[in-house]
Amino acid sequence: MTDAVQQFWDFYRATLPEDARPPADDYDAWGFGDSTEMANELGDLVRRGVKTATASLYWEYEAEDEPLPEVGRHSVILDGRGVPLCIIRTTEVIVQPFNAFDAQFAHDEGEGDRSLDFWRDAHWRFFSRACAAIGRTPDEAMLVVGERFTLVWNPSGSPAAGNGAALSIL
């Protein structure tokens, strides 16, 4: 973690009553997608409260020997330059085949026109790139990790902010 990410997390924790603070190490930091532009665009959707879900390729977790998301865990969401934007808390994790995701999940992802058709097309292209990088072939039954989350802190002051004071430490 960078110093800026750690400061962002520490500042968030300090806004909470002591008995409600998550443990000091109870977070991850990451950005969405596979490009600077995608991280910026999707991070902004989260910060505005539009995006409340995301989907990842299960095979990537296996290939990178990374644990799956955990309900209750926090994430500092980063923009495409690695700058902290906001903090979310995971509320649901589901692992199911690509073709089992429904219109409600697509809507909750908040991308494009929020339709299932858009979700399937955009995620098929994204997962195909991820599969190529790890030597796998995409198929309709490939496992996808669906994660729903709540925006818990947004220091930007936008209407969706959890607690909205401007952050001057970054």
Question: What CATH number corresponds to the domain at position 57?
Answer: 3.10.400.10
- Cα radius of gyration (the chain): 16
Is 160 part of a structural domain of the chain?
Answer: no
Is 15 part of a structural domain of the chain?
Answer: yes
Number of H helices, E strands in the chain: 5, 5
**Single pTM value for the model:** 0.90
**pLDDT tens-digit profile of 41-87?**
999 999 999 999 999 999 999 999 999 999 999 999 999 999 999 99
Is 123 part of a structural domain of the chain?
Answer: yes
Is 142 part of a structural domain of the chain?
Answer: yes
**pLDDT tens-digit profile of 101-117?**
999 999 999 999 999 99
For the chain, give the mean pLDDT: 92
Strand partners, 76: 29, 87
Is 83 part of a structural domain of the chain?
Answer: yes
DSSP tag of 78: E
How many structural domains is the chain composed of? Answer: 1
Q: What is the Cα–Cα distance from 70 to 151, expressed in whole angstroms? A: 15
Using a 10 angstrom Cβ sphere, with 0-12 exposed, 13-18 middle and 19 or more buried, the burial of residue 18 is exposed
Is 104 part of a structural domain of the chain?
Answer: yes
Q: Residue 83 sits in which domain range?
A: 3-153
Is 170 part of a structural domain of the chain?
Answer: no
Length of the chain: 170
Cβ pair 5, 29 in contact under 8 A: yes
Q: Which residue has the tokens 């004071």?
A: 165
pLDDT score at 169: 34
Is 163 part of a structural domain of the chain?
Answer: no
pLDDT score at 158: 54
